[in-house]
Structure 1
C-alpha cells in the first residue's frame, strides 16, 4: 500500500514543478538500527549523511508536545491515494491515543512525486503555516482529496481551502504567487531522496534513544501502536 513512482520522476517533478507552478498561480521494516549521526559541521564528499536534521528540518511545525519522547515523521504527497487512506483510517487514532496524550509528536514532510498540483498543495500548507494554520490546511487538503492529477488541488480550489479555514487571503495569495517556500519544499524532497524513499506515505519513528523504525505505506493503527509502545518502554 505504497505509491511508488521512481525517484527520478519524483526528483524531476519536485524541482521543475516549483519553478513552473507558482508562476502560473491562477508493510513494516524492522531496520531499527538506523543510526542518527550528530549534524556534521562540514558536508563530506560522497553520499549525503543521515542526521537528525534529515528527519526534522524542512517540515511542518510540530504537532503535539515538543517534549514528547517519541517522534513520528511522515513523508507524504497531498495527491497520494494511500496518504489519504492513512489520514482517514489511521491518523485520528494516533492523534487521540498518542499525540494528544503527550507521548508522540508528529512532523509532516513533503515528498512530491505525483504532479505539479502536489507542489502547489505543499506550498499552500506552508503559506498557511505563516499564519499558524499549517495543520488545519493539511487536514482540509486530505479532506477534499478526490484522486491524482484530476484537478481537485487546482489553484482555485487551494484558494477556496485557504478561505474556508479563515486565512488572510491577501497574505496567503502573495505567499503563493511569490513561491515563498519553494526552497523548503525542494529541501524536504531532497531529504526524502537522502533516505532513499521510493514512494509515499513513508514514516520514521524516532525513539528516546535516537534509533529509528521505518514504516512504509498506509499501515493500520495497530502497527504504529506496536512500535510506539516498544519505544515508550525504553
Structure 2
C-alpha cells in the first residue's frame, strides 16, 4: 500500500522542482526481466524508452566498487517515512554484506513527492557531492529525519548538516543559492516517471546479465539478500 501523504501531492511537487531553489508499502512486487534497450542517439516520439541510462544517470555517485556485478538503484525522497525505515533497518546490512565486499554497488536517485523541503534536501546532497561528500550528507539527512513537512529539513537545518560533515560552507551555500543541480534533480524525477513509479522507496536490482528486479517499499534485508544471491549464482 503506497504511503498516503507521500503520494497525494506527488504530481504537484514535480512541477516545483525547477522553481523551488533554497529555502510502505505492505506488499512486495518483484518484476524480473524488465527490458533495457540500448540508449537511442535520437529521441523518438512517444513514451520514453527505458534504457540503462534511466537507471544510472542523474543520480548519486556510486557507493561501492564501480565494477561490482550487481547494481542496486534506489529512488527515494529524503522526507519519506518508509525511505527512512529502509535506511535504518536494511541499508546497513546491505552495506556490510554486499557493498563493502564488492558484490553490489548502489546508486540513489531523487523522486521528490512530498514537499519543497524534499527538493531542498536533494539540492543539499548534490551540492555536497561537489565536495565528494554526497553519501555523508545523504546519511546525515536520514539520521535527522523526524517526519514529513514538519521543518526538520528547513534551509537552516540543511546548512547545519552541511557544517557538521565538514563541508566548505561558502562553496556549498553558493551552490544552493544558485540551484546548480536543478536540472539533474528534475531529470531524476522524470526517470522515475518513465519507470511508472508512484511511491518511495522503489528499488531496481540490475544483475550481471542486465536483467532487473523491481522492489517496492521498505522491504526487510532478507528480500534483497535472496535476490542478490540468486543473481550472484548466474
TM-score (norm 1): 0.95
Q: Describe the SS at the equivalent of 2:203.
A: strand
Deviation string for 1:48-81 (max 9, x for gaps)? 0000000000000000000000000000000000
The alpha carbon displacement at 1:33 in A equals: 1.7
Give the Å deviation of 1:31: 1.6
Residue 107 of structure 1 aligns with which residue?
107
Mean Cα displacement is larger for which, 9-18 or 101-110? Answer: 9-18
Q: Which runs of 5+ in 1 are unaligned?
A: none
C-alpha deviations, 1:184-234, integer Å up to 9, x for none? 000000000000000000000000000000000000000000000011111
1:9 deviates by: 3.5
Q: Which residue of 2 aligns with 1:226?
A: 226
Separation (CA, whole Å) in 1 of partners of 2:113 and 2:21? 14
Aligned to 1:62, what secondary structure does the other structure show? coil
The equivalent residue for 2:153 is 153
Instruction: For residue 142 of structure 1, report the CA deviation from its aligned partner.
Output: 0.1
* Preserved contact between residue 2 and residue 216 of structure 1 (Cα < 8 Å): no
Instruction: Quote the residue 2:84 is aligned against.
Output: 84
Cα deviation, 1:141-170, whole Å, max 9, x if unaligned, reads: 000000000000000000000000000000
Match in the other structure for 1:216: 216
Corresponding residue SS for 1:74? strand
SS of 2:145's equivalent in the other structure is coil
C-alpha distance in 2, partners of 1:84/1:67?
Answer: 28
Over the residues paired in the alignment, what is the CA RMSD in angstroms? 1.4
Residues 31 and 214 in structure 2, CA contact (< 8 A), matched pair in contact too: yes
Equivalence for 1:175: 175
User: Residues 137 and 55 (structure 1 numbering): CA distance in 2 closer, same or farther, change over 3 Å?
Assistant: same
SS in 1 for 2:108: strand
In structure 1, C-alpha distance between the alignment counterparts of 2:5 and 2:40, rounded to whole Å: 31
The answer for the alignment partner of 2:66 in structure 1 is 66
C-alpha displacement at 1:19, in angstroms?
1.0
Question: What TM-score do you get using the length of structure 2 for normalisation?
Answer: 0.95
SS at match of 2:213: strand
User: Would you say how many aligned residue pairs link Structure 1 and Structure 2?
Assistant: 231
Cα contact 1:81–1:147 (8 A) shared by 2: yes
Structure 2, unmatched stretches of 5+, are: none
Q: Which residue of 2 aligns with 1:190?
A: 190
Per-residue deviation at 1:4? 5.2
Match of 2:98 in 1: 98
CA contact (8 A) 2:99 2:105 kept: yes
Contact 1:17 1:115 in 2 (8 A): no
1:32·1:213 contact (CA, 8 Å) conserved in 2? yes
Q: Residue 126 of structure 2 aligns with which residue? A: 126
* Correspondence 1:75 to 2:75: yes
